[in-house]
Amino acid sequence: MTRWLAAALVVLSAVAVTATPSFASQASTDTEHFTNMVESDVVPDCNGNGPYTETFVSSGVMHTTQLAGGLGFHFTVTAVGTDTLVPSDPSLPTFTGHFTFWEGDNISQKTDIETFTQSEILRGTDGSTLRFTIVLQTAAAPNGHVVSFAHSNCVQR
């Protein structure tokens, strides 16, 4: 799950940076909706079992605002969808359920703040439950000072 998250952050950040020109003379906004976007990866479960083929199917919206004169930039993406984990070992359970994630980037001449949250609950074919949450935030000041934290939790019962 974390490999997918890292890849999504890289892709979403690249979209945010390239979505509008940095020296726009007027403020500009762009909103894009996406439906049934499929992402797949190979991951272990919370207990290190697997490998599992994980498939996300998501729908959501991305919104970008570029302030006049390139003085600031705001980007958000919100998505919901389904997540399925299919094990390569047939004796392990298959997990299915829902997820939600949100990312926001706020860039100005004074700060660069990025936040990401994700939550999912999956049910196993054996009756078990997998709960996964993650919160990431990074704040950078013009002097190069960076404050960041990451918290994740994966519980399987």
Structural domains of the chain, count: 1
pLDDT confidence of residue 5: 47
Residue 111's pLDDT is: 86
Range of the domain at 67: 2-156
Q: Which parts of the chain have pLDDT scores under 70?
A: 1-24
Q: What is the pLDDT of residue 143?
A: 87
Which candidate, 136, 26, 22, 15, places its Cα nearest to that of 76? 15
Q: What is the pTM of this model?
A: 0.74
